[in-house]
Amino acid sequence: MYQATAIPATEAGGPFTLTPLPFAEEALAPVISRKTVALHYGEHHRAYVEKLNELAKGTEFARMPLDEIVKRTAKVGARAEIFNNAGQAWNHHFYWRSLAPKGGRPGEELRRRLDRDLGSYDEFKEAFTKAATGQFGSGWAWLVADGETLKIVTTSNADSPIAHGLTPLLTVDVWEHAYYLDYRNRREEHVREVVDRLLNWEFAAQNFGAG
Ligand code: FE2
């Protein structure tokens, strides 16, 4: 299970920090441009973290691990605002680590699991792209482990598999801010490129406990 969910506390400022990108802003180009990463990470992701700090200040959530906030506020109407910002902070932290400048291909164990549960690696790519493209409005496409079984799921807005008892292995952000500067409205093309060239299968293996 993915462990890096307790985003570290800082001495000054709030308890949640915008953790550094695991690569340079230009490292995902040409699939995702430096401009998109700068805006997505530096503005959108940052805003979720800052808003979360504002909402959590002086509450029971101020020092709570981020994944715990997401799980505890899911489906609690009165907590929707904190859920949305905590969910987006968690999802983005996970998203950046789901990408790698030289995304590889799944290792042996995950390849076997994909064959067993989703047909093949190629069938995974098609099904994942189709799910991500078909997610209506803003949201996320995920490869998850449901117990021992690999599945593709999508979530809307800030929702996250961790709020549903699933273990995320990889995600692709399909909010328009993730691709609009580079691909305009061509979400499918964006997802296809990301899936082919940027998915971080080593990260997926670690999350699956197969690293
Ligand atoms: Fe995003």
Using 50, 70 and 90 to split pLDDT, how confident is the model at 210? low
| E-state strands within the chain | 139-146, 149-156, 167-173
Question: What rounded mean pLDDT belongs to the chain?
Answer: 92
Report pTM. 0.93
**33-42, 55-64, 176-185: which has the minimum mean pLDDT?**
55-64
Tens digits of residue pLDDT in 106-153: 999 999 999 999 999 999 999 999 999 999 999 999 999 999 999 999
Strands 167-173 and 149-156 turn out to be unpaired
Ligand 1 center from residue 173 Cα (angstroms): 6
Tens digits of residue pLDDT in 12-39: 335 799 999 999 999 999 999 999 999 9
Q: Domain 34-97: what homologous superfamily?
A: Fe,Mn superoxide dismutase (SOD) domain (1.10.287.990)
Ligand 1 center from residue 95 Cα (angstroms): 8
- Residue ranges of the chain that CATH labels 3.55.40.20: 108-210
- Residue ranges of the chain that CATH labels 1.10.287.990: 34-97
Q: Is a pLDDT exceeding 70 seen at residue 11? A: no
The span from the CA of 66 to the CA of 191, in Å, is: 27
Residues in the 5 Å CB sphere of ion ligand 1: 173, 175
Q: Domain 108-210: what homologous superfamily?
A: Iron/manganese superoxide dismutase, C-terminal domain (3.55.40.20)
